[in-house]
A = this chain, B = another copy of it.
Amino acid sequence: MRKLGIGLLGVGEMGRRHAENLRRLVPEARLVAIADVALDRARQVASDLEIDQSYASLDDLLANPDIKAVVIATPDKFHATAICKAAAAGKDILCEKPLAITLDDAHTALQAVKKAGVRLQVGFMRRYDPAYAAAMKRIEAGEIGEPVVFKSIGRDKDVPPIAAYQSNVNGMLFYTNTIHDFDLARWMVGDEVKEVQAYTTVAIRPELAQYRDVVASVLNLKFSRGAIGNIESHAQAMYAYDVRTEIIGSKASIFVGTVAHTPATFMTPGGGTQMLADHFLTRFADAYLAEMRDFVHNMLNDRPPRVSGEDGIKALAIAVAAEESHLQGKPYEVTHSGSRTGTVDDVRMKAV
């Protein structure tokens, strides 16, 4: 069997899952090497998965001629530069979301990809989730008529440690969490978001303000052709990992997702208690795998990736507008050009 040689950059929680999937569950892939600024971590994962090579830098990884494609799972801040380097080395790329944390960086990355003639997929894995995919099939078949309202909820369960904010290597809530819903909004409604309005809160965790982040947000959306929407994001909802989307159409509607997870219910005089989902790696395990298989298959067969760099930058542009609305206290138009906060200055690879 012909196999795609792959190098993986960044083995935090997310990168490790990609490594496991690539090593064990994607027959068309050969995971050649793992790189991480924390070399001991790279070595450990390589050892666990019986991969021969591990590196402390992306440059070393890219120098390996057996590697034809690179999976980028570093913290958000380093995505864009990593893409530029991988593209310059002629590798195809699967980059975790978000594509970048500034539009300038994102444009730079896309230009590098274009110039090098390589292919880039952005990690919006929800498109591969069986429930979202089934919903989309019906939408594309016209079964709900015209989309009128898009609603999405993305609640993480556990309280992030303060170090996660102090490290300053990831974007705020809109870039790390809501970005998935921005992609869903565009994909499922089949239209672009043209304006957003955000309210946010740090009420129960005021110390986040100094890191320019928030605990939760509600975000209204206006689409180009007249649909409207709302996305709620929450960094620490406590009770569960809860991702659900509803599309209200002119003829019918679709609800995706459920907070119930393991189907065991404990029945007492006080009520019936269901077990809930607790983590994205559990809820979207199938989606991460399907995403990787699809990426590898398309690369091997010279096909375009299913989720493009264009999708990445358009979702990012909504995040940027959302942050502006949050900062300025008024609705903000989504624009895809222009920079907001300058460029990434260095390339580190400490993983997500």
Residues on A facing B (Cβ under 8 Å): 1, 24-25, 27, 48, 50, 130-132, 134-135, 138, 143, 145-146, 148-149, 151, 153, 155, 157, 195, 197-204, 215-222, 225-230, 232, 234, 237-240, 248-260, 262-276, 329-331
- The reply to whether A228 and B201 form a contact with Cβ atoms under 8 Å apart is yes
- The reply to whether B254 and A266 form a contact with Cβ atoms under 8 Å apart is yes
Q: Chain B residues near A155: list those with CB within 8 A.
A: 248
Q: Chain B residues near A50: list those with CB within 8 A.
A: 1
- The reply to whether B146 and A203 form a contact with Cβ atoms under 8 Å apart is yes
- The reply to whether B218 and A230 form a contact with Cβ atoms under 8 Å apart is yes
| Highest count of chain B CB atoms <10 Å: which of A195, A198, A253, A263 | A263
State how many angstroms separate the Cβ of A333 from the closest Cβ of chain B. Answer: 11
Q: Chain B residues near A232: list those with CB within 8 A.
A: 149, 151, 230
A227 to B199, CA, bound (A): 9
State how many angstroms separate the Cβ of A227 from the closest Cβ of chain B. Answer: 6
Tally of this chain's copies: 4
- The reply to whether B134 and A215 form a contact with Cβ atoms under 8 Å apart is no
Task: Enumerate the 6 nearest inter-chain pairs by beta-carbon distance, A residue then B residue, closest first.
Answer: A203-B226, A239-B267, A258-B263, A131-B264, A253-B267, A271-B273
Q: Chain B residues near A267: list those with CB within 8 A.
A: 239-240, 252-255, 259, 276
- The reply to whether A197 and B331 form a contact with Cβ atoms under 8 Å apart is yes
- The reply to whether A274 and B275 form a contact with Cβ atoms under 8 Å apart is no
Look across to chain B and name the residue whose beta carbon is closest to the beta carbon of A222.
Answer: B199
State how many angstroms separate the Cβ of A291 from the closest Cβ of chain B. Answer: 17
Q: Chain B residues near A329: list those with CB within 8 A.
A: 331
| Highest count of chain B CB atoms <10 Å: which of A153, A239, A275 | A239
| Highest count of chain B CB atoms <10 Å: which of A132, A197, A215, A266 | A266
